[in-house]
Amino acid sequence: MGARQTTMAAEAKEQPYVIEYYYKAKWGHADEFLALFKKNHYPVLKKEMELGRMLKVTMAAPRYHATEDGRWDFRVTIVFKSAAIANDNFDSSALIKQMYPDQETYKKEEHTFSGRCVAAEESSMTRGFLCLAYFLHAPHSEHVAGALLP
């Protein structure tokens, strides 16, 4: 590999890397889904931001309705520090045990959270704590509706 290719690879390695997760809640359960996300998932994502793994986490809802096959209720956009960090198989279980010492309640709520999500596609990329509806690598873009996270 030439010097220029090495430099380009190093620069690409350090570029922010955006992943968007699309959630489709079961009808009538969007509020409960959002409450559980804010209670059990967002604090873990904030902790990962504090650790320097992530630069930004946002959540948005669509502005307009869509047909059922294209419907999504929430989009979580995570800006990782780099592609390498986004794909390093980070295990958040230690953080979760530290942040939620009552694991019985946490697991019960996670079961409820998963039950409120319509899983359109299973993926090993769920990082252990997301009920994933759709998984998409995308360039950073503006949100289609108002922010749902502080």
The string of pLDDT tens digits covering residues 89-117 is 999 999 999 999 998 988 888 877 776 66
Give the Cα separation of 149 and 134 in Å (integer): 20
Closest to 112 (Cα-Cα) out of 53, 45, 26: 26
Write the single-letter amino acid at 100. Y
Position 107 in a domain: yes
Give the Cα separation of 58 and 56 in Å (integer): 7
Position 60 in a domain: yes
Q: Domain containing 82 — which CATH number?
A: 3.30.70.100
The Cα diameter of the chain in Å comes to 57
Position 69 in a domain: yes
Number of domains in the chain: 1
Higher-scoring residue by pLDDT: 104, 63: 104
Task: Answer yes or no: is pLDDT of 10 > 80.
Answer: no
Domain that holds residue 19: 15-137
pLDDT digit string (tens) for 11-54?
556 789 888 888 888 777 788 888 888 998 899 999 999 999 99
Position 8 in a domain: no
Position 105 in a domain: yes
Which ranges of 41-90 does DSSP label H, i.e. alpha helix? 42-50, 83-86
Mean pLDDT in residue range 120-127: 34
